[in-house]
Structure 1
Amino acid sequence: MISRRQKILEDRQAIVGRLNAGENSLTIPDDLISEIFLRLPVKCIARCRCLSKLWASIINRQDFTDRYLKISSTRPRLLFVFHESRKVFFFSAPQNQEDDNSSPTTSSYHMSFPVDYVEGICSPISGLVCVNNKQILKGRRTPVIVSTICNPSTGQSFTLPRMKTRKKKPDARSFFGYDPVEKQYKVLSMTFADDATEHQVLTLQTGKLSWRMIECGVPHHPGSNSNSVCINGVLYYKTLYGEHIIASFDVRSEKFSFIKVKGPFIHALYPTTVLINFNGKLASISPSGYYLFSKESTSLEMWVLDDIEKEEWSKHIYKLPPTWGKVVGDAILPCSKVTASNEIVLSEYRLRSPFYVFFYSLERGTIRRVEIQGMEAFTHSKVYPFVDHVEDVKRMKGV
């Protein structure tokens, strides 16, 4: 008769023997591994991808990356991009805070890549960022304007092919858009010189990337401070033209149209105003009577495009709370963006220590300030802040 103790010892020795022989009797199902990975932060996902071929195959599956992106959209982050020592750096920090007097939050470093000069940065779309920059390409002595696509979550980046142009020493601007129907990312770029503009489009896809020339019946080009916003597959940006207009570009059909801005809504085109997505509508925000927000500001004005075809706008005024001046202090603030939860986000042009981000709730009429730590080494660098950034663990093909 074998005792219970002896049975346990024999079972233990058998298990150890199988493990030493390379056998694993405790295999974890792939679906369970996938569920565990969905709960890990993006940096852990990167490590897991490198530790095991099986794990990498699970993480690289389309169904996994789609689910991870969907979960990430429920926990949006602030993305900070800045240029220092001929490199572009990417940091992010949690966006949502529960109370009005939020404690400091620590930013996370993601990646960097070399550039000579940053021309502009497009708002992130589903985790991807388009950086317009100057680089000295192979075989050239002087820098040229190029666009670099990067995914801060995976640390990948690649530079798009240089555009071919008939212009001599042209200037160039590029915008980043997404077609939710065909699920395609596209870059719209304009080269202009001597009041003439060429428009080109590149689709991000597998295989060789190339620019296609497209026609535009209205000669125009974006202003130097023009930002862009992509809403439901339509890209909007402010233009320099004889009339006050906003250009709209349908990412799927690759067709242009133009929105005239008249009367009191001309403020929507001021250089310091920012085009935003307000509940699915194109809108613009600025402080009442000023170009930038400060402790002297008492209210803000929002212009919302209610009907695109009729070019009808509405004006909304929001009174800032009595605590505004005390919370803002000596900061001079441009409007960054508005979050999906209708909070206007403001931060200064340059990093300083301490560095604060301000959140004004349009629904509650409250103002809160959050200190962002972890970027003190880059104090005085120009910072580009973005809201509602999501982490996408999908690797870019062909990089």
Structure 2
Amino acid sequence: MVRMQRNPNPNHYQDQQSETTNGVGLPCDLIIEILSRLPAKFICQLRCISKSWRAILSPFDPVLQTLHRNLSNSTPFLFFFYISYHGICFSSFDTRGQLRNQFTKHISSPVWTWQFCQGLLCFVCSKHIYVCNPSTQELLEVPYSFNLRDIYNFAFGYLPSTNEYKIVHWFSDTDINHIEKIVCQIFTIKEGGPNPHGSWRVVGNSPLFRSVHRFPLCMNGSLYWIVDKNENKGNPMKIHRFDLAREEHEIVLTPKAFLGSCHDTVCLLLIKDSLCLVDFSPWMPTIDIWMMKDQSNQIWVKEYIIDIFGVNRPLLKIEYIPSGDGCDEEILIRPEKEGLLLYNFKTKSIRRVGNLISEYMGIDFDLGRCIRSYLYVDSLYSLGSG
């Protein structure tokens, strides 16, 4: 008779099982692969199932976040929010018009301006700044700064090298000699929320700064926006760039052959990881898209000419939808008095998405005036407020 030797560590088997399955019954790699394909809302709900699931998902595994981010970037949603006196109503849809998420957040004061970046929404009120992750429904109130004036001169960007978001705010001030200067201050948001003693940092004067015109575009750790027309009279149109890593400014020149002269009908897009300048002037039957092929030498090429004959003008918004899940690349077009349109690069055809919101939100409003629409990517980024 052979006597079985007792394991000196009674928890050995339990530890080994936990190491390979985390108590869920599947290998960790397989769990992460499956979860990465789910909406962030569902992944957050799994935390409530059991202690084992909560242990896996609190905090989120970095590999899961990376896989989920890559898949989400290739399949963005159409995101809408409606600002009321009681708060902000959020709804998101896929490009086929199916409702994916909907909720309302209550805030303490009216919203003045807002910006989207990489799955998060930052909006500025008279005395407050909030950052919201619509996927997890987290809402973070940023500490107040006494320098929060010139509230339209702010930008919101993501720095992938450090996995941080930065709120950048420029304001006018005077030195001891009563000379006016433009000062830049930055608030950094880290994964899991800001540090307990997180605060605004003044990073110095900004002699190259030009007031923020419309909504800046964040690309590869830099913010881009078109120099305001009032500061650019008689000169070729310029683009302002703010490097979030070096926290420095520079000017980017537009294409020499670029004919767009009306700032209100020109915008910036990110297409295939390249900066693009879009001209949708109302007197043109096309949308012309210039792409920067060589950023170091600032070389531009007219890459696309989109025929939109018959589409109502003016156009309020244009955004790029990358290909994902076998779908073709598309451009989202939002006319002022018409439902949302999607232009397909491959078929060169336009399909209507329609007025998606009213039947779900129970609000009777004019799509062109009351609703704000954006492209949105699902995000597991934690603000530490959930």
Letter in 1 for 2:331: I
Letter in 2 for 1:360: Y
User: 1:268/1:393 Cα in 2 relative to 1: closer, same or farther (>3 Å)?
Assistant: farther
Residue in structure 2 matched with residue 128 of structure 1 by the alignment: 120
Residue in structure 2 matched with residue 89 of structure 1 by the alignment: 89
Residue in structure 1 matched with residue 45 of structure 2 by the alignment: 47
Question: Is 2:20 the counterpart of 1:28?
Answer: no
Task: List aligned pairs for 1:113-262, cutoff 5 A.
Answer: 113-114=106-107, 116-125=109-118, 127-131=119-123, 133-134=124-125, 143-144=126-127, 146-165=128-147, 170-192=150-172, 196-205=181-190, 206-207=194-195, 208-223=197-212, 225-240=213-228, 241-242=231-232, 244-261=237-254
Tell me if structure 2 keeps the 8 A contact 1:93–1:106.
yes
The range that moved more, 156-165 or 31-40, is: 31-40
Please state whether the residue corresponding to 2:117 is helix, strand or coil. coil
Task: List aligned pairs for 1:349-364, cutoff 5 A.
Answer: 356-364=339-347
CA distance in 1, matches of 2:262, 2:241: 14
User: 1:129/1:396 Cα in 2 relative to 1: closer, same or farther (>3 Å)?
Assistant: same
CA distance in 2, matches of 1:247, 1:361: 30
Residue in structure 2 matched with residue 302 of structure 1 by the alignment: 289
Tell me if structure 2 keeps the 8 A contact 1:130–1:176.
yes
CA distance in 2, matches of 1:39, 1:219: 43
Matched positions, count: 337
Question: Is 2:55 the counterpart of 1:57?
Answer: yes
CA distance in 2, matches of 1:27, 1:345: 41
Tell me if structure 1 keeps the 8 A contact 2:47–2:54.
yes
Q: Please report the RMSD computed on the Cα atoms of aligned residues, expressed in angstroms.
A: 3.2
CA distance in 2, matches of 1:288, 1:106: 32
CA distance in 2, matches of 1:94, 1:270: 30
Per the normalisation by structure 1, the TM-score is 0.73
User: 1:212/1:268 Cα in 2 relative to 1: closer, same or farther (>3 Å)?
Assistant: farther
The structural deviation recorded for 1:308 is 3.7
Residue in structure 2 matched with residue 386 of structure 1 by the alignment: 374
CA distance in 1, matches of 2:377, 2:343: 21
Q: Deviations over 1:192-236 (max 9, x none)?
A: 47974221112112412211112345253324x522111111111
CA distance in 2, matches of 1:181, 1:367: 37
State the identity as a percent.
Answer: 22
The structural deviation recorded for 1:87 is 1.7
The structural deviation recorded for 1:257 is 0.9
Letter in 2 for 1:235: L
User: 1:218/1:75 Cα in 2 relative to 1: closer, same or farther (>3 Å)?
Assistant: same
Tell me if structure 1 keeps the 8 A contact 2:85–2:110.
no
The structural deviation recorded for 1:93 is 0.9
CA distance in 2, matches of 1:118, 1:349: 22
The structural deviation recorded for 1:248 is 0.6
Tell me if structure 2 keeps the 8 A contact 1:175–1:189.
yes
User: 1:335/1:170 Cα in 2 relative to 1: closer, same or farther (>3 Å)?
Assistant: closer
Please state whether the residue corresponding to 2:348 is helix, strand or coil. coil
Residue in structure 2 matched with residue 282 of structure 1 by the alignment: 275
Structure 1 stretches of at least 4 aligned residues deviating more than 6 Å after TM superposition? none
Letter in 2 for 1:76: P
Q: Which ranges in structure 1 are unaligned for 5 or more consecutive residues?
A: 1-25, 98-103, 135-142, 291-296
User: 1:309/1:185 Cα in 2 relative to 1: closer, same or farther (>3 Å)?
Assistant: same
Letter in 1 for 2:274: K
Question: Is 2:337 the counterpart of 1:346?
Answer: no
The range that moved more, 33-42 or 334-343, is: 33-42
The structural deviation recorded for 1:302 is 1.9
Tell me if structure 2 keeps the 8 A contact 1:188–1:202.
yes
Tell me if structure 2 keeps the 8 A contact 1:147–1:174.
no
Q: Deviations over 1:113-147 (max 9, x none)?
A: 3253333322331x22222x21xxxxxxxx33x43
Residue in structure 2 matched with residue 313 of structure 1 by the alignment: 300
Tell me if structure 2 keeps the 8 A contact 1:336–1:386.
no
Tell me if structure 1 keeps the 8 A contact 2:33–2:64.
no
Tell me if structure 2 keeps the 8 A contact 1:186–1:202.
yes
Tell me if structure 2 keeps the 8 A contact 1:123–1:228.
no
Letter in 2 for 1:386: Y
Q: Deviations over 1:131-172 (max 9, x none)?
A: 2x21xxxxxxxx33x43111111110112122333x9x6444
Q: Deviations over 1:367-396 (max 9, x none)?
A: 111135344423235222222x22223432
Per the normalisation by structure 2, the TM-score is 0.75
Residue in structure 1 matched with residue 20 of structure 2 by the alignment: none
CA distance in 1, matches of 2:169, 2:64: 33
Please state whether the residue corresponding to 2:69 is helix, strand or coil. helix
The structural deviation recorded for 1:45 is 2.8
Rg (Cα) greater in structure: 1
CA distance in 2, matches of 1:198, 1:269: 29
CA distance in 1, matches of 2:282, 2:34: 52
Please state whether the residue corresponding to 1:396 is helix, strand or coil. coil
User: 1:216/1:311 Cα in 2 relative to 1: closer, same or farther (>3 Å)?
Assistant: farther
The structural deviation recorded for 1:289 is 4.7
User: 1:106/1:262 Cα in 2 relative to 1: closer, same or farther (>3 Å)?
Assistant: closer
